[in-house]
Chains A and B, each alone.
Chain A
Amino acid sequence: MEFWIIVTGALVATACGILGCFLVLRRMSLIGDAISHSVLPGIVIAFMMSGSRDSLAMLLGASVLGLVTVFLIQLFQQSGVQADASIGVVFTALFAVGVVLVSLNARQVDLDLDCVLFGEIAYVHWNTMSVFGIDGVPKAVWILGITLLAIFLVIGLFYKQFKLCAFDPAMALACGIPVALFHYLLMGLVSMTTVASFESVGAILVVGMLIVPAATAYLLTERLSIMILYSVLIGITCAVLGYYAAAWLDASIAGMMVTVAGLLFVVALIFSPSHGLLMRWVKRRRLVGVEA
């Protein structure tokens, strides 16, 4: 069971780590936060309509809600509301709808709010599914695997386009790349990932796995491909260390994973060879020494 929990965590970390890099570079980290909150009504509505925890329906419902979120944020921005305020208005409203729906249907709906928000990765191995005759693999692993495959495919095929959009959208537009299409493609992938991982790390902590490893990697390198690699590796480290730390302290696994991610970020913040606080200090001391 331990094995499957760590595999699930690592899959979440990989998917989030890849997408997080693009979010951090495009300065859209908080859109990731917004999507991770606002998929809640999508999950609940899909759950109420299908009447089961059939993850495919939830995946669909939440992805739709994710795109609606992005669309609404853009709409309000264009009508003159400031960017961060329009993010705030949209996700709080949708999240509130989700919580009210859950509370209203608490009797019929066997959907634990805590479970949706903070995830119960400890239970993934109980819910197995056999696909292509392979038994004993948890459902969450299948779904995360499919999501990850989709991310590999889309990012792999259009890596150059995504890279240009991340660094210089105006240039990308001038080159004839449909920037808006890639924007929505990225957002669609982010909402898919959020939903695929909500069962394991929960809706709120997905944002930690999206942003923190990517930002840590951003402090360590100047190349996008290496940043993605680092981000994924850091994410997997967080998943593994977080699991053992949680088992040791008997605490929330998802919470522990994000806490470990935070610790690694602080380490990078201080000791990064290129951007760390310590290096800055040393460099400044050297400069002072040269002048003296």
Chain B
Amino acid sequence: MMEFSWSVLADPNTKWILMGCMLLGLMSGMIGSFAYLRKQSLIGDTLAHAALPGICIAFMLTGVKSLPLFFIGAFVSGLIATYSITVITRYTRIKADAAMGIVLSVFFGIGIVLLTQIQHSPNGNQSGLDKFLFGQAASMIHSDVYLMMGVSAVIIIACTLLFKEFKLLSFDPGFARGLGFPVGLLEQLLMFFLVMTVVVGIQAVGVVLVAALLITPAVAARYWTDRLGVMVVLSGVFGAISGVIGTLISTTTSNLPTGPLSVLAATTVFGFSILFAPRRGVCAKVIRRIRGNEAIRASERMREMQRQDIRLRKEESL
């Protein structure tokens, strides 16, 4: 199968798709690490589910399947979703988790209703909208990849230029406000990037699983380092690797959607990190415990010897 995948690489179209998925993994990994540190990991999940009605409405209004239009639709409904979460948590006693659950399920429910409407309509079968649920990277065309490249370039450049601001925002928003940074604006910018990443990712990974690309690489990267800069880069690399592996397997074997495969690749990286990361990993912890036990035992032995020594000397002096 490996040889097969190399021959597939020669195909220029596959190269483009691979490029797109790699960039997607890279940018979602980068944005994901800020979201993780701001304890907003699951907002990506909510946004992805909430994008479904937007995509359906865009299709119903125009009747054509074009990524830029879906992008706009998903983007608008993603923004409405974030706004709804803010309203619910600010003005009632409902907590953030329930607010996210409500927005996620209700928007998705509306999306499913619209989707069945489209499927029952005459041109519904060609729409391929059901591909959006689990993603099919192979169905991407050149212009889709261009759009992906554009978005990821914007996000990567913005993350580099605004690194200091985002860093402060992630660790101590209160301090950032005190220093006079426009915290509200920066928060909205980060949310804006999050929505953009999710919407672009839906094509390749699917609505249900796009959140994993934001969360899993970031959590895995957190295991390896305590420095934000290293974490962002590492998380981007992990994301890119998962995207590439998922796409390769999905394009070489038919019948397997890209999304779940990329997510499983990312989960494998996470599993590896949790086991073998220095200091935080399970192995490192076990080794440290064994060493600690040995040290305690050694010091016990030392004390025992000292005690014997004292006893002997006493006996001698008697």
Chain A 25-51 residues near chain B, CB threshold 8 A: 27-30, 32-33, 37
| Number of A-B pairs, beta carbon distance below 8 Å | 192
Interface 1/0 per residue, B109-120 and A, CB below 8 Å? 111111111001
Would you call B267 an interface residue if the criterion is a C-beta within 8 Å of the partner chain's C-beta atoms? Answer: yes
Would you call B280 an interface residue if the criterion is a C-beta within 8 Å of the partner chain's C-beta atoms? Answer: yes
Task: Verify A89–B108 contact, CB threshold 8 A.
Answer: no
Would you call A269 an interface residue if the criterion is a C-beta within 8 Å of the partner chain's C-beta atoms? Answer: yes
Name which of B45, B112, B222 has the most chain A CB atoms within 10 A of its CB.
Answer: B112
Q: Given A30-B101, A258-B109, are A89 and B45 neighbors across the interface (CB < 8 Å)?
A: no
Residues of chain A with a CB closer than 8 A to B130's CB: 114
How far is it, in angstroms, between the C-alpha of A154 and the C-alpha of B94 when the chains are bound? Answer: 26
Tell me what chain A mostly uses at the interface: helix, strand, loop, or mixed.
helix
Chain A 235-292 residues near chain B, CB threshold 8 A: 246, 249-252, 254-259, 261-262, 265, 269, 275, 277, 280
Residues of chain B with a CB closer than 8 A to A251's CB: 113-114, 116-117, 120
Which of A76, A100, A257 has a CB less than 8 Å from the CB of B256?
A100
How far is it, in angstroms, between the C-alpha of A287 and the C-alpha of B270 when the chains are bound? Answer: 54
Name which of A82, A106, A246, A257 has the most chain B CB atoms within 10 A of its CB.
Answer: A82
Which of B105, B134, B256 has a CB less than 8 Å from the CB of A258?
B105
Residues of chain B with a CB closer than 8 A to A256's CB: 109, 113
Task: Verify B112–A205 contact, CB threshold 8 A.
Answer: yes
How far is it, in angstroms, between the C-alpha of A24 and the C-alpha of B96 when the chains are bound? Answer: 10
Residues of chain A with a CB closer than 8 A to B177's CB: none
Which of A88, A259, A277 has a CB less than 8 Å from the CB of B41?
A88
Would you call B104 an interface residue if the criterion is a C-beta within 8 Å of the partner chain's C-beta atoms? Answer: yes
Q: Given A92-B211, A96-B263, A103-B256, are A85 and B219 neighbors across the interface (CB < 8 Å)?
A: yes
Q: Given A88-B215, A211-B105, A265-B106, are A82 and B39 neighbors across the interface (CB < 8 Å)?
A: yes
Which of A92, A100, A218, A262 has a CB less than 8 Å from the CB of B93?
A218
Which of A85, A114, A212 has a CB less than 8 Å from the CB of B215?
A85
Task: Verify B216–A205 contact, CB threshold 8 A.
Answer: no
Residues of chain B with a CB closer than 8 A to A117's CB: 133, 208
Residues of chain A with a CB closer than 8 A to B256's CB: 100, 103-104
Task: Verify A30–B42 contact, CB threshold 8 A.
Answer: yes
Would you call A133 an interface residue if the criterion is a C-beta within 8 Å of the partner chain's C-beta atoms? Answer: no
Task: Verify B219–A257 contact, CB threshold 8 A.
Answer: no
Q: Which residue of B lies closest to A28 (CB)?
A: B97
Q: Which residue of B lies closest to A206 (CB)?
A: B105
Would you call A230 an interface residue if the criterion is a C-beta within 8 Å of the partner chain's C-beta atoms? Answer: no
Chain B 242-276 residues near chain A, CB threshold 8 A: 255-257, 259-261, 263-264, 267, 270, 274
Distance in Å: Cβ of B28 to nearest Cβ of chain A? 13
Task: Verify A262–B110 contact, CB threshold 8 A.
Answer: yes
Residues of chain A with a CB closer than 8 A to B57's CB: none
Which of A28, A219, A258 has a CB less than 8 Å from the CB of B106?
A258
Task: Verify A97–B264 contact, CB threshold 8 A.
Answer: yes
Task: Verify B93–A96 contact, CB threshold 8 A.
Answer: no
How far is it, in angstroms, between the C-alpha of A27 and the C-alpha of B93 when the chains are bound? Answer: 12
Q: How many residues of B contact A (CB 8 A)?
A: 58
Distance in Å: Cβ of B311 to nearest Cβ of chain A? 45
Q: Given A103-B255, A219-B94, A249-B113, are A89 and B270 neighbors across the interface (CB < 8 Å)?
A: yes
Task: Verify A81–B219 contact, CB threshold 8 A.
Answer: yes
Chain A 120-160 residues near chain B, CB threshold 8 A: none
Task: Verify A204–B255 contact, CB threshold 8 A.
Answer: no
Distance in Å: Cβ of A203 to nearest Cβ of chain B? 10
Residues of chain A with a CB closer than 8 A to B208's CB: 37, 95, 117, 204
Q: Given A89-B215, A89-B270, A261-B106, are A96 and B39 neighbors across the interface (CB < 8 Å)?
A: no
Task: Verify A262–B97 contact, CB threshold 8 A.
Answer: no
Sample of 18 A–B contacts (CB below 8 Å): A24-B98, A30-B97, A33-B104, A81-B222, A88-B44, A89-B216, A92-B211, A96-B267, A103-B257, A117-B133, A117-B208, A208-B106, A219-B92, A250-B117, A252-B113, A255-B110, A255-B115, A269-B91
Residues of A within 8 A of B (CB): 24, 27-30, 32-33, 37, 76, 79-82, 84-89, 92-93, 95-97, 99-100, 103-104, 106, 114, 117-118, 204-205, 207-208, 210-212, 214-215, 218-219, 246, 249-252, 254-259, 261-262, 265, 269, 275, 277, 280
Which 8 pairs of residues, A with B, have the shortest CB-CB distance? A258-B109, A208-B105, A262-B106, A255-B112, A92-B212, A96-B260, A88-B215, A96-B263
If A118-B112, A212-B102 are given as contacts, then 8 extra A-B residue pairs at C-beta distance below 8 Å, sorted by A number, are A24-B98, A29-B97, A33-B105, A85-B42, A93-B267, A99-B134, A262-B106, A265-B106
